[in-house]
Amino acid sequence: MSDSNQPHSAPFLADYRDFWWNPDFLELMAQRLKLDRVRTVLDVGCGKGHWGQMLLRFLSKEATLAGVDREEKWVDEARVRAEKLQLGARFTSVRGDANALPFGESSFDLVTCQTLLMHVPDPESTLREMSRVLKPGGLLLVVEPSNLANAGVSSSFSINEPIADVVDRFRFNLTCHRGKMALGLGYSSIGDLLPGIFAKVGVKDIQVYLSDKASALFPPYEGTEQQTLIHQIKEWSDKDLFVGTKTETQRLFLAGGGAESEFERLWDIGLKENRALNSEVAKGAYYCGGAGIHYVVSARR
């Protein structure tokens, strides 16, 4: 979610995404999925290019990557980012809709996306369109989270929270999940459902994996990864983001069946952990294993 005056997902397309993957895990996946055979890749809903451009490192030097996104700003920024990573000669980006891709049938060896399907009203339809531009025998590769599961991870702050607050925060997340779905904006834990949706699409050789990456924070918060994550969480806290902006989150909450009279109290509980995190980090007292469920689902056309 993002403010209506910003491109989609603007608060969440930042540098912390560079640390979502262990390189040796991606290398293993490249071996399992025989990505050395891939020459043409399409990254659907590419955003600033984090996922596709990272994946390109594990493909043949001859492989090329096309990114498509509905937001012109992200199309431009993905191109600039590719140049900075010295991938400009292998990367192109265009504006387009994930449900009406601007490419012909059977155009790519690999069609992929990361955290796209969680934002679409009909992921089955989007997967069918992605499959359309995939060559026969080509690989469909999708990464999506289970954000409800991720919301249940304990930290040094939440472990001592009142049980009622922990339960209320989870209920708040679940209600917003349901509201997002009711409004036709997607489902933020779509990863849990992906294997069944793949089966409905009719693709073959469906494989389901989990990323082995955790985003741990612990004193003394050394290294670029922890510092980048702390910076990102502080930015979200400073902007009072939880699920999305307050206005967006209230819309989701009410659409999910939440009571207007409850919103302010639950919103404050939702923000409390981010605020506490900043305070506890400043004291060198915050720690969390940072587990997260990110499914990696693949299939062949």
- Domain of 57, CATH number, reads 3.40.50.150
- Residues 266, 221, single domain; the answer is yes
Instruction: Residue 30: give the domain boundaries.
Output: 10-146+186-214+292-300
- Residues 87, 232, single domain; the answer is no
DSSP assigned state of 110: E
Distance CA 49, CA 82 (A): 8
The pLDDT assigned to 124 comes to 98
The pLDDT assigned to 278 comes to 87
- Residues 142, 268, single domain; the answer is no
- Residues 155, 224, single domain; the answer is yes
The pLDDT assigned to 270 comes to 86
- Residues 129, 225, single domain; the answer is no
The pLDDT assigned to 252 comes to 98
**124 in any annotated domain:** yes
Query: Is the omega angle on the peptide bond into residue 220 within 30 degrees of 0, that is, cis?
Result: yes
- Residues 226, 206, single domain; the answer is no
The pLDDT assigned to 4 comes to 56
Distance CA 76, CA 43 (A): 15
**26 in any annotated domain:** yes
Ramachandran category for residue 298: left, alpha or beta (phi over 0 → left; psi -120 to 50 → alpha): beta
pLDDT tens series, the chain, 301 aa: 545 578 999 989 999 999 999 999 999 999 999 999 999 999 999 999 999 999 999 999 999 999 999 999 999 999 999 999 999 999 999 999 999 999 999 999 999 999 999 999 999 999 999 999 999 999 999 999 999 998 899 999 999 999 999 999 999 999 999 999 999 999 999 999 999 999 999 999 999 999 999 999 999 999 999 999 999 988 988 888 888 999 999 999 999 999 999 999 999 998 888 888 889 999 999 999 999 999 999 999 9
- Residues 118, 256, single domain; the answer is no
- Residues 198, 266, single domain; the answer is no
Question: How many domains is the chain partitioned into structurally?
Answer: 2
**5 in any annotated domain:** no
- Residues 171, 49, single domain; the answer is no
Residue/partner pairs of 120-126 with CB below 8 Å, 24 or more apart: 120/186, 121/184, 121/185, 121/186, 123/186, 123/187, 123/190, 123/193, 123/194, 123/197, 124/197, 124/200, 124/201, 125/99, 126/44, 126/98, 126/99
**108 in any annotated domain:** yes
Task: Return the axis-axis angle of helices 246-255 and 163-182, rounded to nearest 10°.
Answer: 80
**4 in any annotated domain:** no
The pLDDT assigned to 246 comes to 95
The pLDDT assigned to 237 comes to 86
**2 in any annotated domain:** no
- Residues 296, 272, single domain; the answer is no
- Residues 26, 78, single domain; the answer is yes
Distance CA 16, CA 131 (A): 30
- Residues 167, 246, single domain; the answer is yes
User: What is the pTM assigned to this prediction?
Assistant: 0.94
